[in-house]
Structure 1
């Protein structure tokens, strides 16, 4: 999921995904045709059809690539104690996954009308709900539940809110992560995270 278009150039399926995302970003999902994708790739439509029959198939494949490491992270989280340490590790790994998926999230923002009736949007929504369930303690005070949920949503909103802030992308990611971790810590008064204690190895989200 963290691969760059340059590193993935030898894989035809992934080249199609990369070029499709470029065109979706340039002119919108609805205005992009399979013919234009094939032309930019310099392949025939028949060659493109071998991998994807429709634009939505390409989009679904992109969401599946995003969902795979998220599913692994969610599975890991369900097997861990519901401690501050576990929740902060979930957020750390999720932060890396989000950074790798920035082009897809920007696509979602720019093509909200198209996303409203496309299947991938519901798939991602289900995973966001699952993540919030792992972060939120239903027995906690309501303000602390809000803080736990805000830790997740601050990372999502920051993707767009910080686009025009001039700073190194990794520095911005770390700053947002710091705020998210602080919110989680505030939601667990009296509890301290002890790195490496009581938490199994989390899957690599990159």
Structure 2
């Protein structure tokens, strides 16, 4: 557990258990037992599993909110859009366990408030890396760049190779997709 305080330890252990046995099958009692604290001590910080998950989501995705705020103030150039992807890549890497959990528990996430929040962020990011006048294929390239990063994080763990090299390759493909979209026939 890289993070130190009690609240963060609870989040980390809960996420470990959610990943191991699923959100629905994990109880607050199991979280408190893994932490070796009483349920009362756990309740002091979080009353429900949903509160834990929402707090995790807010804490680990804060860099994405900061990225969106930054990107909204930048010129709409190809270089800015490539930087958006690089920064998003760093944010995804930092929150990899949460995003793996979200991928593996899509139905649960969809039913919680974080599902809608995540969807809104993705829509905003897709708007930030494409232009309304792009041809449809180029708009698809931009959207695919973001999903390449998500799918890459999830599926590349099953591909042999150096983890850093795999992350770099995923980013390279995402940047290439956005670059190609910006070099489309109308902008040529």
Global fold match (TM > 0.5): yes
> TM-score of the superposition, structure 1-length normalised?
0.86
Q: Take 1:113 and 1:13, find their aligned partners in 2: how far apart are those partners?
A: 26
Q: Partners in 1 of 2:143 and 2:109 — Cα distance?
A: 23
Distance 1:152 1:80 in 2: 19
- The answer as to whether partners of 1:67 and 1:124 remain within 8 angstroms in 2 is no
Tell me whether 47-56 or 141-150 shows the greater mean CA deviation.
141-150
* 8 Å CA contact 2:61, 2:91 repeated in 1: no
- Whether contact under 8 Å (1:63, 1:124) holds in the other structure is no
2:52 pairs, out of 49, 55, 58, with 58
Residue 70 of structure 1, aligned match among 64, 67, 72: 64
TM-aligned CA deviation for residue 110 of structure 1:
2.2
CA distance in 2, matches of 1:116, 1:145: 25
CA distance in 1, matches of 2:26, 2:94: 24
Provide the aligned length of Structure 1 versus Structure 2. 186
For residue 135 of structure 1, what is the aligned residue in structure 2? 129
Secondary structure of the structure 2 residue equivalent to 1:162:
helix
Corresponding position of 1:38 = 32
Secondary structure in structure 2 of the residue aligned to 1:116: helix
After superposing the two structures, state which structure 1 stretch, 106-115 or 41-50, moved more: 106-115
- Per chain length, whose mean CA-contact separation is higher, i.e. which structure has more relative contact order (CA < 8 Å, sep 6+)? 1
Residue 109 of structure 1 is aligned with which of 82, 97, 103?
103
Q: How far did residue 66 of structure 1 move?
A: 2.5
Name the Cα RMSD after superposition.
1.6
Contact 1:92/1:177 (8 A) holds in 2 = yes
- Residue 119 of structure 1 corresponds to 113
Higher helix share: 2
Preserved contact between residue 28 and residue 111 of structure 1 (Cα < 8 Å): yes
Q: Extract structure 1 runs of 4+ deviating beyond 6 A.
A: none
1:163 corresponds, among 154, 157, 161, to 157
- What is aligned with 2:145? 151
Q: Which residue of structure 1 lines up, in the alignment, with residue 94 of structure 2?
A: 100
118-127 or 159-168, larger mean C-alpha shift: 159-168
| Partner residue in 2 for 1:186 | 180
Alignment TM-score, normalising by the size of structure 2: 0.94
Taking the aligned partners of 1:78 and 1:109, their CA distance within structure 2 comes to: 27
- For structure 2, the residue ranges without an aligned partner over 5 or more in a row are none
The answer for the alignment partner of 2:85 in structure 1 is: 91
